[in-house]
Structure 1
Amino acid sequence: MTTPVRTDLAPYRVAVAELPASAVASRDGDGAVAVVAGVRAWWQAAADASAGGAAAVVVAQPAAAPVEALDALASVADATPVVLERPLLRADVVAAIGGAFEGVPAAGALAVECHAPDLTLAVALRDAIGWARVLAGGPLTLRAGESWGGRVLGLLETEHGAAVSIVAAPQPGAPSLGRVRITTIAEVRVEVDADLDTALVITDAEGRSILPARFESSERVALRRAITAVRTAERPFDLADLRHDTALAEALLSAPTA
């Protein structure tokens, strides 16, 4: 059984062609998985797709969005699964980490570094916070922050009281989507290095283990997740997670200089 997919984006048309057993291209958005580009007011495009009868909505590489806009989208799309393609925070890598983390003690602290071109720093910072949330195993709380000239210093805290330090800055030579590096400070050290390719390294007394490289495109991962959500009626937590990460990124970027 195939699920109809409505998209005008070339990478997603390729993803549909690569999933012949589960996806088929459609010109009609009603009852289909609707793919919208994550540019400009993408949250409104996603809301319109939901209101137009889409079975699920995929947002391709969502740009920075105000928290209020995300709340409005969550309200409108309450019954519609929304899947977000975040290339710096790939859902398949996050899922793989769950197994890799089994038996790893909680970190006492996390260090987060983030750099990106000016235009994409807000998105890179948002996704860096997302990685910190994943590695911490739950939501984070802002304790202190300072910003000047686009540069950010921040201190967050996990639910278990671990400190999360963040340094972010614009860099013209950085990858277009930015680059994120997170290191846990613990007996077992976990390192995530995310840009267009994401690497995960776990170091303990026995040596270093590296998560295998992922060869599937982020577009195909997002499309598969949306199709699964339609078929199982399970709601992904993408919007709630994005709101959490966005709220903290907004607070850090607007924090006054001490």
Structure 2
Amino acid sequence: MMRVRTTLPGYLAAVAELPVSTSPTAESAGSLVVLPGRRGWTDAVARAAADGAAVVVVDEPGWAAVADLDALLRLDVPVVLSRSRLRADVADDARRTERAALVVGSCAAAPRVLAEVVRDAVGWIRTLGDAPVSAVSARGAEHGGIALLDVGGTPATLAVTALDPTARPRTRVTALGVERSDVETTPDGTTVTVSSESGARLLPARFEDAPRLALRRALAAGGAHADDVALFRADVVVADALVGGQGRLPAS
């Protein structure tokens, strides 16, 4: 049984739902420590590791510098990241059996969260393209722009739109090939549709709460590193190249 230290309500509920494998604790040493992903979360992970945490979960990781993520990769503690716009189980479901010939994405969000939405859109392009993503060029205007990307040799585009400050973020990524995969993400969840010559099918929805999924993944990580931070870092590098700290693409 793994002891879990957290004050986040969703994770406290998840611990109660997993009584055979988890139990609550106030101690970090030897425990699974859950941290909120607010600004400075990378420093909080480092402190938890120094306090002897066995594994760390970060809920909704926000902005982080690449140098700080590099420091996390050097820690001898598994770090699991819970990203609601890029859930690990939905990403596994959406992975394609054949390489795409083209990947087209779009995302829109309020300026204060646009960089994070772009980061997760890049993650979906990486997932559907099944390869690392790199930025080729970007052209921006006052309220958005478009970027040309490369996904392991496959061309991709990402259109970015800055919305009203109260608007809800949304993302759509389409991979085209023998089959077509469409991913749509909103605050209400993510849907994945796969189309072929035989028709279109909507993949079954995942109903497990994100905190419970994160805890199960952390328990499965055991003493080995999960690759969440490395993949997150890759998405951040591309998002920084596109929108940086300004939350918009460079003006043309």
Question: TM-score, normalization: structure 2?
Answer: 0.93
Local SS of the residue matching 2:19: coil
* Aligned residues of 1:31 and 1:53 also touching (Cα < 8 A): yes
Local SS of the residue matching 1:199: strand
Shift of 1:138: 1.3
Local SS of the residue matching 2:116: helix
Return the letter of the residue paired with 1:84: L
**Structure 2 residues not aligned, in runs of 5+:** none
Local SS of the residue matching 2:120: helix
Deviates more, 1:191-200 or 1:28-37: 191-200
Q: What residue number does 1:89 align with?
A: 86
C-alpha deviations, 1:26-54, integer Å up to 9, x for none? 11010000011100111000111011100
**Structure 1 residues not aligned, in runs of 5+:** none
Local SS of the residue matching 2:136: strand
Local SS of the residue matching 1:20: coil
Q: Percent identity?
A: 36
Give the 5 Å matches for 1:219-230: 219-230=211-222
State how far apart, in whole Å, the 2-side matches of 1:126 and 1:244 are: 9
User: How many residues are matched?
Assistant: 246
C-alpha deviations, 1:85-122, integer Å up to 9, x for none? 10000011112234xx33xx321111111011221111
Tell me whether 1:252 sits opposite 2:252 in the alignment.
no
Tell me whether 1:17 sits opposite 2:11 in the alignment.
no
C-alpha deviations, 1:54-94, integer Å up to 9, x for none? 0001001011111112112222x2x1000001000001111
Give the 5 Å matches for 1:1-258: 2-75=1-74, 77=75, 79-98=76-95, 101-102=96-97, 105-149=98-142, 151-159=144-152, 161-172=153-164, 173-175=166-168, 178-196=169-187, 197-230=189-222, 233-254=223-244, 256-258=250-252
State how far apart, in whole Å, the 1-side matches of 2:19 and 2:28 are: 19
State how far apart, in whole Å, the 2-side matches of 1:49 and 1:17 are: 22
C-alpha deviations, 1:103-157, integer Å up to 9, x for none? xx32111111101122111111000000000111110121111234462321101
Over 3 Å counting, the alpha-carbon distance change for 1:64 and 1:147 in structure 2 is farther
Over 3 Å counting, the alpha-carbon distance change for 1:67 and 1:13 in structure 2 is same
State how far apart, in whole Å, the 2-side matches of 1:235 and 1:168 are: 33
Local SS of the residue matching 1:174: coil
Q: CA RMSD in A?
A: 1.4
